[in-house]
Amino acid sequence: MADDSEFAAPPPPPPKRSASDVPQPPPLKYTKPSWAGVAAYSYTLEVLKGGVSIDKIQGPKKDVITIGRLPLCDVQMEHPSISRYHAVLQFNEDSDAYIYDLESAHGTKLNKKHIPPRVHTLIRPGDQLQFGESTRIFVYETTKPVSEEDLEREDRIALRHRSRAADVEHVNEDDEDQGISWGFQEDAVEEDEEDEEDEENEASSKRKGAPSGDAALLTAETHDDLVIRKNATEKAMKELQEKIDQRKVRDAEGAKSKEDEEQDLDDYMKSLSKAPQKEASLFSMQKELQQLQKVTRL
């Protein structure tokens, strides 16, 4: 007798899975604005990494382009800092592009600056986009003709860059030409030297007990006192001038005698053993004479 198992009925097929049982992607929490439109011109996103172009994404002709980590995103990125739905690229009826951050965890940058979330921010050809902590840079380009407004904007930016470069160059030239003062710096130095000399004279007068300021007015000298002081000064000048003349004559004779005669070794040793006499130098006497001459001219 045949085995009954050979004639057993096959097991029933597994139940069909309904659409609700299939894993569904998370919903895109984004509502298109009333001014949304489809891009009428071709556009690209050039991908740069380390300053080198590694890819160029041809943008789809849609009104909303999703950017994120999910496989169904129009621009898929694999960096762990990228959210599942990170941002969208929204076009308007004039084919102008706007970047919109979907409150991502690590944000979106436009030209190295974070943009506010949930705000449509206009992007222009040549602008750079960065998502999350990824180092990749997306450069937006479009075939849409540049408007006069964009041309004026580019001219303003170029002019601002040129003016900044000129300012930097001017600063560098000033740093290199610190020696050029057009005479003002030299005058300032001379004034400083005169001020220092006046301060030294004032300090010396204080050390000698001479009054200054209001005290000098209270102790003003009479005419006879001035005549006596003038005569004493002229006498001191005369004596000092005689000493200077004598010193010059003596120095000249000493130099001549050294040239004409050779000094005996014993005399030379005796001269070394003698204690040198303390005598004012010729320079100090001439300086003192100049100071006295200044006093007589006052």
How far, in whole angstroms, is CA 151 from its chain's centroid?
31
Quote the CA–CA distance of 245 and 256 in Å, as a whole number.
17
Q: What Å distances lie between residue 211 and 190, 202, 204, 230, 275, CA to CA?
A: 27, 10, 11, 18, 41
Residue 152 has pLDDT above 70, yes or no: yes
- pLDDT band of residue 43 (cuts 50, 70, 90) is very high
Higher pLDDT, 160 or 18: 160
Residue 68 has pLDDT above 50, yes or no: yes
pLDDT tens-digit map of 196-246: 556 555 555 555 554 555 544 445 567 777 778 888 888 888 888 888 888
pLDDT tens-digit map of 233-280: 888 888 888 888 888 888 777 666 655 555 555 665 665 555 455 566
What pLDDT is recorded for position 90?
A: 96
Residue 182 has pLDDT above 50, yes or no: no
- pLDDT band of residue 185 (cuts 50, 70, 90) is very low
**Domain boundaries of the chain, sorted by first residue:** 43-145, 226-245+286-298
Cβ atoms 247, 254 nearer than 8 A? no
43-145 CATH: 2.60.200.20
Cβ atoms 247, 285 nearer than 8 A? yes
Higher pLDDT, 140 or 272: 140
What pLDDT is recorded for position 285?
A: 78
DSSP 217-244: HHT---HHHHHHHHHHHHHHHHHHHHHH
Residue 184 has pLDDT above 60, yes or no: no
Residue 187 has pLDDT above 50, yes or no: no
